[in-house]
Structure 1
Amino acid sequence: MKKDDKNLEDLITDFLSKVESGTELLQKKFGTRNILRLWRSKQIERCGEITDGIQYELHGVGCAIHFPSESVDFDYGSNNRIDGFDVWRLYIYASDRPSKYKKYCDKKIVEKEFKEYIASGRIEKMSPSDNLYIRVNPDLAAK
Structure 2
Amino acid sequence: MSDQNETLETLINDFISMVDSSTLILENKFGTRDIRRLWYTKAIKRRGRVTRGVKYELHGIGCRINLSTGTVDFDYGPNGEINGFDVWRLHNFACERPSKHRKYCNEETIEKEFDEYITLKKIKKISAISNLYVWADLKEAN
TM-score bracket for this pair, using the shorter chain length: over 0.9
Structure 1 unaligned blocks of 5 or more = 139-143
Q: Give distance in 1, aligned partners of 2:2 and 2:101.
A: 14
Letter in 2 for 1:73: D
RMSD: 1.6
1:137 CA drift (Å):
3.3
Q: Does 1:108 align with 2:108?
A: yes
1:64-122 Cα offsets, whole Å, 9 max, x none, are 11001310000000111001000000000000000111110000100000000000000
What's the counterpart of residue 92 of structure 2? 92
1:28-69 Cα offsets, whole Å, 9 max, x none, are 000000001111111101111111101001001000110013
Q: Give distance in 2, aligned partners of 1:71 and 1:118.
A: 26
Q: Does 1:48 align with 2:48?
A: yes
- The answer to whether the 8 Å contact 2:3/2:103 transfers is no
The residue correspondences of 1:1-143 to structure 2 (distance < 5 A) are: 5-137=5-137
- The answer to whether the 8 Å contact 2:3/2:102 transfers is no
Letter in 2 for 1:62: G
What's the counterpart of residue 141 of structure 1? none
Q: Give distance in 2, aligned partners of 1:90 and 1:30.
A: 26
Q: Give distance in 1, aligned partners of 2:41 and 2:91.
A: 32
Instruction: Give the TM-score of the pair, scaled to structure 2.
Output: 0.93
User: Which SS does the other structure have where 2:6 is aligned?
Assistant: coil
User: Which SS does the other structure have where 2:56 is aligned?
Assistant: strand
Instruction: Give the TM-score of the pair, scaled to structure 1.
Output: 0.92
1:4 CA drift (Å):
7.9
Q: Give distance in 1, aligned partners of 2:18 and 2:34.
A: 15
- The answer to whether the 8 Å contact 2:57/2:65 transfers is yes
Shift >6 Å, 4+ stretches: none
1:5 CA drift (Å):
2.8
